[in-house]
Chains A and B, each alone.
Chain A
């Protein structure tokens, strides 16, 4: 249930029609969703589910199917390895590590996009990684709240 709720919330945040001038300062909500699962709940997440849940993200962004699967898998892998060491540190250090991981993901994204005929500008991808890292703290709070809510509901049942 937690997975479904966080996934739905992520899709809603991605599908929301933001004004075009905000596009360059928006975080990538898909990255933050995988970050939360990779960092906080990696013991509950399956790779198949991760790949399947990335397909609607591709459709909403209009990217080639599979691009977000590749990025999500890379982010989840990196954060699962780093998870134990950064889970307990303060939000600033967490955001810094997440920024570095998302920068690597941005480099992969840049490479794949170039191969599929787009002409991305790397600094925009970097900005996206930076804003995603800055938004990590509130988004983590939101997902923690959802997880807490679903756990309470299950206990009550």
Chain B
């Protein structure tokens, strides 16, 4: 290998070249998304490293499972069977409600909603950067995952797919500071844009009219505007409405319904076409 800095002046020149190269790369990647292919190629090459890094966690998991007594496993199976029975009953109700809803929509002449095609996926890892809320899921292009598809959990919206690789995909969570989401308040149908602030337990609705009818406890759901997300997916619960005296706008703080930091299983909505 050639030496890095043999003389101070040479070192400075090399540093300047490196800085110019890096700044140009940052600019191209963040403004034009032109380096997706490079990112995909590097991530594919990193696959063995990532699998190796998951190994200790998997081994510990296996060890815990192995050490659990049979009684515990039987108890868990019984509770799962009970939960399954409850969900089957709920599903029967859902079928009848869905049929009723379709009939009402037909009578009103409203177009039927497209049925979701959900793909189950597991979160393999969260980004270790404290300011980037991205998760890698174990489904990718080969399973039909495309950029822009919504990702949901049993509790509510998680985010959307932003980069796809052959066997994995990166999901940008709604709490990331670069994520914006069209939402509405379930109770009043008040529309707004929810923005992430870089904290897993918080999203904000900014610049709402001071007279807006939102109270703590209200549920926020996707509005469907923009066409990326189905309308009606639960997003967050309002925790605080800030009305500063003399200011024309109100500020709403909400907590995501999905426990984003502790999620392991998610669903990718394949019915939404990717971009």
Contacts and interface: CB of A to CB of B under 8 A. Distances in A.
Interface of A: 3, 8, 11-12, 14-18, 20, 23-24, 26, 38, 42-47, 49-51, 55-56, 59-67, 69-70, 73-74, 76-77, 80-81, 112-113, 116-121, 124, 128
B126 to A, nearest CB: 6
A113 B132 CA distance: 10
B54 A17 contact: yes
A118 to B, nearest CB: 5
B76 interface: no
B26 A65 contact: yes
B125 A15 contact: yes
Contacts of A14: 128
A118 B3 contact: no
Given A56-B42, A66-B22, A76 B4 contact: yes
B134 interface: yes
A64 B30 contact: yes
B175 to A, nearest CB: 11
Majority secondary structure of chain B interface residues (helix, strand, loop or mixed): helix
Nearest to B53: A15
A24 B261 CA distance: 14
Interface of B: 1-5, 8, 11-12, 14-15, 17-19, 21-26, 29-30, 35, 38-39, 42-43, 45-46, 49-50, 52-54, 56-57, 124-132, 134, 170, 177-178, 197-198, 200, 261-262
Given A46-B4, A70-B26, 11 more contacts: A15-B46, A17-B125, A18-B128, A26-B128, A50-B4, A65-B39, A67-B22, A77-B15, A117-B178, A121-B131, A124-B131
B22 A73 contact: yes
A112 B29 CA distance: 13
Contacts of A76: 4-5
A27 to B, nearest CB: 11
A55 B49 CA distance: 14
A12 B49 contact: yes
Nearest to B4: A45
8 shortest A-B CB distances, which residue pairs?
A66-B25, A70-B22, A73-B18, A15-B53, A66-B26, A69-B22, A17-B125, A61-B129
Centre residue among B29, B131, B177, B261 by max chain A CB count within 10 A: B131
Contacts of A49: 1
Nearest to A19: B261
Nearest to A80: B5
A118 B178 contact: yes
